[in-house]
Every structure is written in C-alpha cells, then in structure tokens.
Amino acid sequence: MRTVFHENLDELNGQLAKMCGRAGVAMKSATHALLAADLSAAEQVITAHDQMVGMRSDAEQAAFALLALQQPVAGDLRAVFSAIQIIADTERMDALAVHVAKIARLRYPEHTVYGEVSDCFAEMGRLAVGLGESAQQVLLTGDPAEAAHLREQDTSMDDLYRRLFSLLMSPSWDHGIAAAVDTALLGRFYERFADHAVEIGRRVVFIATGALPPEDDISTY
Amino acid sequence: MRTVFHENLDELNGQLAKMCGRAGVAMKSATHALLAADLSAAEQVITAHDQMVGMRSDAEQAAFALLALQQPVAGDLRAVFSAIQIIADTERMDALAVHVAKIARLRYPEHTVYGEVSDCFAEMGRLAVGLGESAQQVLLTGDPAEAAHLREQDTSMDDLYRRLFSLLMSPSWDHGIAAAVDTALLGRFYERFADHAVEIGRRVVFIATGALPPEDDISTY
C-alpha cells in the first residue's frame, strides 16, 4: 500500500514539476514575443494556456485521489497538502506569462517597450525563467536548502522592479501614457511570477521540514 | 467521530468566512483611504495584514489536522481540499487591499485619483466589498446557486476595469504618468480581488456538487 502511495506521489510531483517547467517556457516565449514583437510567439503562449488548465485539473484530481484512497499522514500528507497549493501557483505563473503575451499581441506590430525599459524586461524575463527552472528543480529534488535559495534569487527581481518604477516616474520618461501603463503592468506580471516561484520554494521547505518559512512583506506596488 | 469531524469542519468554515469578511472590510477601508487620502485608514489596513497572515497559518493547521486525524472522504474531503485553496484566496484578497492602501499612503497628503477615475474606483470598491460579502455568505451557506452568482457580479467589475483603461488611454488624459501608473495598478488590484471572490464561489460549487465550474478567460490586462 505504501509503495503504491509513493509511486502515485512521485507521479503527482512529476506533474507539478512539468507544470512549473511549462510556465517557465511560457514566460520565456512571452518575453521573446514582447521584446521582438513576435505575434506568433505571443499567440502560442496564449493558446497553450488551455493545456495548463487541463493539467491543473488532472493534478488536482490526482491529489484528491491520493487523499481519498491512501489517507496519508505526516510527511506524506504535507506533500499532498502542499501540492494542492503548488498546483495553483504553477497555473497562475502560466496565466501571468499569458498576460505578458496578450500585451505584446495588443501592441503588435508596434513594439511595446524600448531602450532601457526593454533591457529591464529582458533581464526580468531571464530572472523569471531562472526562478521557474529553480522551482521546477526543487520540486524534483525536494531539497529544502535549494528551495530556500529561491527567495534570494527573487531579490534581484525586486531590484529590477524598483528600477523599472524609477524609470517610469522619472521626468525624462518620454514614451507616453500607454507605454507607461504597459510597463507598470508588465513589471507587476514578472514580479508576481517570481513571487509564485518563491512560494513554491516555501512549500518545498514545509514538505521537507514541517516548518513554513515566513512570508515576505508586501511591496508598495 | 463523525460528529467531531463536522464540528471541526464547521469551525474551519467559520475561519474561512471570517478571513473573507476581514478582506472585505480591508478593501472597504483601503478604498476610503484612497478616495479621501486618509493616511490613518491606509496605515490600519497595512498593519492589520499581519493578523491575516496569522489567521492563514491557523486555518492551514486546522485543515491539515482535519486530514491527518479524521481522514475524510467524499463531500467532507472536498470541503477540506477546497478550504486549502480558499485560505490562499482570502489572504490574497487582503494583500490586494494592502496594495491599494500602500498606494494611498505613498501619495499622501495628495489625492491619488481625481474626477471620473475617482468615481470609477468608488464603484469598483463598492463592487469588491459586495463580492467579498457574497463570498463570505456562500462560505457560510454552502449554497451552490448563490456561489455561481458571484461570477455574474464580477462582470460589472470587468466592465469598470475596461472603462478605466479607456479613460487612461484616451487622448484627453491629463493627469500625467504617475497617476496613470497608479490608476492601472489600482484597477488591477480591484479586478484581482474580485477574481479571488469568484474563485471562492467556484470552490463552493465544487464542495456542494463535486463538479468545478470552468475558469474564466484571462483578460488582456
């Protein structure tokens, strides 16, 4: 009975890691769509979200079945309990990539962002993809030290997010209102993507140790 | 044994409803802080979030204990499974109210928004508070018809969100970049608050019927 449970749990963890990996790929494509004004890349990210919704539903059913049929306790229960939360995080990460892609599509054939702001998003994209990969990795290894490290990676994202707002609020901003609005929202989408990756890290620490690290403070924006 | 379980489950549902109610009150105060440039109201919303984090932790522990000690099945398991997700929604709703309050605090003693935009936020605030109250109500009644109705309430929020962006993107916008950025982000905070209330409604339908209503499409912004 325990063996079946652990096989099923491994399978569920594999689903979570796959969802997280897909969200990372989606954010990579969405960032490319944004920076290169690539309509077909944007469309692809938007269309692919349906599959993510299906994966969410499958993973939730698998987690539910594990609880209903196997009634896990202790560390095993922590793993399934946390999986329910992680499923939501990964789908949300993918939805945030869709938001980025939708802004790129809205502005096509124009570019959405230029110059220094564009560089900022290139870097935020790299960080987001890196955080997605790290989150996927810790879902597979379950290593709490590695999971806790996700928060440190996120501080670079917070720095970039602040830099973006200092560019936006500077008197020298000369890209107009629509670009300012796009920039602010895009910044938030990247920052939230990173927050969800950090949240996955917190949950992996909880699975391994039984103690949930404290949440970060809420930023002003 | 069943009786103890149902007592504990009622208690957990009471915690969820209380969290949802607090998030609604927080959004009401944050909207007041925003529209009246009331610093102390803003500070109060921001400070009170710590209690919400504590309530989240308590509710998660209660849900975990219900699974570990009582090993529920069928409808009872659906209730605890969904509680895990609803806990996250209610805390997020409160965090979104904090975001609104933080923008009000950042701009104090100035007002953040004026004229038609201010009217829009007054209405979005009313809708958000209404959705929070409806979500709290369906958590207590468990009525799936009432829960499904939350989605209809949300369409008015979507309409206001679109109106806000048409104001923002109009050539007659004359409030400058910072106000545009604040307006876009604030709009998103209200819209996300409403989405979480709708999500709670979906989960209540699932608890009652075993079938989860489909998700809404992702908006462009």
Q: CB atoms < 10 A from the CB of B166, how many?
A: 8
pLDDT tens readout for residues A142-201: 999 999 999 999 999 999 999 999 999 999 999 999 999 999 999 999 999 999 999 999
Mean per-residue pLDDT, B139-164: 95
Mean per-residue pLDDT, B113-139: 96
Q: Which residues of B touch A57 (CB under 8 A)?
A: 212
The residue with greater pLDDT, B218 or A167, is A167
Q: CB atoms < 10 A from the CB of B109, how many?
A: 6
Is residue A215 domain-resident? no
Is residue B217 domain-resident? no
Written as six digits, the tokens of B18 are: 């209380």
How far off is chain A from B105, nearest CA to CA, in Å? 9
Q: What is the mean pLDDT of chain A?
A: 95
Which pLDDT belongs to residue B10? 96
CA distance B197 to B17: 12
Written as six digits, the tokens of B163 are: 């109106």
Taking only residues 73 to 112 of chain B, the set having a beta carbon closer than 8 angstroms to any beta carbon of chain A reads 73-74, 77-78, 81, 84-85, 88, 95, 98-99, 102-103, 105-106
How far off is chain A from B140, nearest CA to CA, in Å? 22
| First-residue to last-residue Cα distance in chain B | 49
Percent of chain B predicted with pLDDT > 90:
93
CB contact under 8 A, A98 and B180: no
Q: Within an 8 Å CB–CB cutoff, is residue B211 touching chain A? A: no
CB contact under 8 A, B221 and A103: yes
Written as six digits, the tokens of B60 are: 């998660």
Mean per-residue pLDDT, B18-24: 98
Write the CATH number for B168: 1.20.58.220
Q: CB atoms < 10 A from the CB of B122, how many?
A: 15
CB contact under 8 A, A180 and B177: yes
Q: CB atoms < 10 A from the CB of B110, how many?
A: 11
The DSSP H or E segment spanning B25 is helix B2-36
Cβ-Cβ pairs closer than 8 A, A with B, add up to 95
For residue B2, pLDDT over 80 is answered with no
Which pLDDT belongs to residue A146? 95
How far off is chain B from A63, nearest CA to CA, in Å? 9
Q: What is the mean pLDDT of chain B?
A: 95
Q: Within an 8 Å CB–CB cutoff, is residue A64 touching chain B? A: yes
Is residue A21 domain-resident? yes
CB contact under 8 A, B218 and A99: yes
Mean per-residue pLDDT, B79-88: 98
Which pLDDT belongs to residue B1? 54
pLDDT tens readout for residues B49-68: 999 999 999 999 999 999 99
For residue B221, pLDDT over 80 is answered with no
For residue A1, pLDDT over 70 is answered with no
DSSP B114: -
* Bond from prior residue into B72 cis (ω within 30 degrees of 0): no
Reduce the secondary structure of A73-98 to three states and give it as a string: CHHHHHHHHHHHHHHHHHHHHHHHHH
Report CA torsion sign: A155, A94, A126, A175.
negative
CB contact under 8 A, A185 and B95: no
ipTM over 0.90: yes
Percent of chain A predicted with pLDDT > 70:
98
Is residue A102 domain-resident? yes
Percent of chain B predicted with pLDDT > 70:
98
Is residue B93 domain-resident? yes
Written as six digits, the tokens of B70 are: 């009582």
- A49: pLDDT confidence band, cut at 50, 70 and 90? very high
What is the DSSP secondary-structure string of B187-198?
HHHHHHHHHHHH
What is the DSSP secondary-structure string of B132-146?
HHHHHHHHHH--HHH
Domain count across chain B = 1
- A18: pLDDT confidence band, cut at 50, 70 and 90? very high
CA distance B191 to B161: 7
Which pLDDT belongs to residue B217? 80
What is the DSSP secondary-structure string of B79-92?
HHHHHHHHHHHHHH
Q: Which residues of B touch A78 (CB under 8 A)?
A: 64
Residue with tokens 């409806």: B134
CB contact under 8 A, B103 and A220: yes
Taking only residues 129 to 188 of chain B, the set having a beta carbon closer than 8 angstroms to any beta carbon of chain A reads 165, 168-169, 173, 177-178, 180-181, 184-185, 188
Percent of chain A predicted with pLDDT > 90:
93
- Closest residue, chain A, to B106 (C-alpha): A220
CA distance B46 to A216: 14
pLDDT tens readout for residues B157-212: 999 999 999 999 999 999 999 999 999 999 999 999 999 999 999 999 999 999 99
pLDDT tens readout for residues A114-152: 899 999 999 999 999 999 999 999 999 999 999 999 999
Is residue B218 domain-resident? no
Torsion of CA B145, A96, B91, B195, to 10 degrees: -30
For residue A32, pLDDT over 90 is answered with yes
Which pLDDT belongs to residue A2? 62
How far off is chain B from A180, nearest CA to CA, in Å? 7
Mean per-residue pLDDT, A70-83: 95
For residue A90, pLDDT over 60 is answered with yes
Residue with tokens 């803003």: B42
* Among A18-32, A141-155, A206-220, B69-83, the least confident range: A206-220
Is residue A114 domain-resident? yes
**Cβ atoms of residues B129 and B24 within 8 Å:** yes
CA distance A128 to B209: 38
- B99: pLDDT confidence band, cut at 50, 70 and 90? very high
Written as six digits, the tokens of B43 are: 């500070």
Reduce the secondary structure of B37-66 to three states and give it as a string: CCHHHHHHHHHHHHHHHHHHHHHHHHHHHH
Which among B177, B188, B206 is the top mutation candidate for probing chain A, defined by the most A β-carbons within 10 Å of its own β-carbon?
B177
CA distance A160 to A110: 24
For residue B79, pLDDT over 90 is answered with yes
Q: Which residues of A touch B173 (CB under 8 A)?
A: 177
Domain ranges, residue B66: 2-209
Is residue B152 domain-resident? yes
How far off is chain B from A89, nearest CA to CA, in Å? 10
* Bond from prior residue into A109 cis (ω within 30 degrees of 0): yes
